Amino acid sequence: MRMLINVAETVVADALRGMAAAHPELTVDVENRVIVRRDAPVAGKVGLISGGGSGHEPLHGGFVGPGMLSAACPGEVFTSPVPDQMLRAAAAVDSGAGVLFVVKNYTGDVLNFDMAAELAEDEGIQVAKVLVNDDVAVLDSLFTAGRRGTGATLFVEKIAGAAADEGMPLARVEAIARQVNESSRSFGVALSSVTTPAKGSPTFDLPSGELELGIGIHGEPGRERRAMMTAREIADFSVQAVLEDLEPRNPVLVLVNGMGATPLLELYGYHAEVRRVLDERGVTVARTLVGNYVTSLDMAGASVTLCQVDEELLRLWDAPVSTPGLRWGM
């Protein structure tokens, strides 16, 4: 175990204590595991709430703040948060304008957010939900029926967050979130396994010199395993997989996302190859983000997410945002 932790049992609570101390601009309820914008509830504003297993930081807690999420609910590592967390989050951020749950498509998350929606509605909070399922690697997976939700979550949270901050009504914020998800596709590769604190040894066996094409963000199997490929070859394969499922007529947002242990130096080099393929395929790039945003603990590897944007989505993407993990314009 090469982990900077106390004991596996307290990893999430310890991280929340550390977040609370580092970010006085957020309200971090360590005991109940809810991270909330300090200014919530904002009168007339739709509340945007997400959550999921921990281990993907800065997603989701690092995306709470003006211009993005109103609240986030972190579960145990790679484990769905419970409905009580989401209900607390909804109660904390609802101003009467309702809340939108952004749910990555994993069975536990879907069930628990469904239950939380029922509970919140019983308390008179209007709830809408959007499912994120952008990963084209496989249909059905270890924890998923249908496609998995990965990098597009960042696009959904940013763009719907801007829409909510502009005061758009719940139905409109929901429609925009759905449009972003439907306009996004992802494909990821792993160069190493991930090790969770609870298990303390690699989740799967990936010998050095091999890679897994189409990896999930919890180490779920992808499409195939191969002998190590160059960044150029991986970009060819990954972007092709994405473009088979999404033929952009409009410009795209590009996310080249590190899985956690791959150095930024390599991510930029990988981005050069991703951009080359997009140029070759005639895809116009509107904006680019390179870094570690939707991670898988200490996994080495990277994913590519494209999101096709019209003028409104691009304007909302460019809108100011101020969160620990994503910040510009304020």
Contact region for a second copy (CB under 8 A) — 88-96, 116-124, 135-143, 287-295? 287-295
Terminus-to-terminus CA distance in the chain, angstroms?
Answer: 40
CB 238 within 8 A of CB 274: yes
Among 80, 85, 192, 308, binds a second copy (CB under 8 A): 192
Which ranges in the chain belong to alpha helices (H)? 11-22, 83-93, 107-122, 152-165, 170-182, 231-245, 264-280, 311-318
CB 245 within 8 A of CB 136: yes
Residue 297 CB, shortest distance to a second copy, in Å, is 5
Give the per-residue contact string, 265-284, with a second copy (x = CB under 8 A; - = no): xxxxxxxxx-x---------
- Please indicate whether residue 60 is annotated as part of the active site: no
68 binds a second copy (CB under 8 A): no
The Cα 207–Cα 270 span in angstroms is: 21
Give the per-residue contact string, 46-65, with a second copy (x = CB under 8 A; - = no): --------xx-xx---x---
Block residue for tokens 């439907």: 182
Residue 268 CB, shortest distance to a second copy, in Å, is 4
298 binds a second copy (CB under 8 A): yes
Produce one character per residue of 83-92: b if its CB has 16 or more CB atoms within 10 Å, e if not.
bbbbbbbbbb
Block residue for tokens 């204590």: 17
- Return the axis-axis angle of helices 264-280 and 231-245, rounded to nearest 10°: 50
Residue 115 CB, shortest distance to a second copy, in Å, is 26
Residue 164 CB, shortest distance to a second copy, in Å, is 22
Rule CB under 8 A: which of 195-254 touch a second copy? 208-209, 228, 230-232, 234
Catalytic residues: 56, 218
| Sites of contact with a second copy (CB under 8 A) | 1-7, 10-12, 14-19, 21-23, 54-55, 57-58, 62, 77, 189, 191-192, 208-209, 228, 230-232, 234, 256, 260-273, 275, 285, 288-290, 292, 295, 297-298, 300-302, 322, 327-330
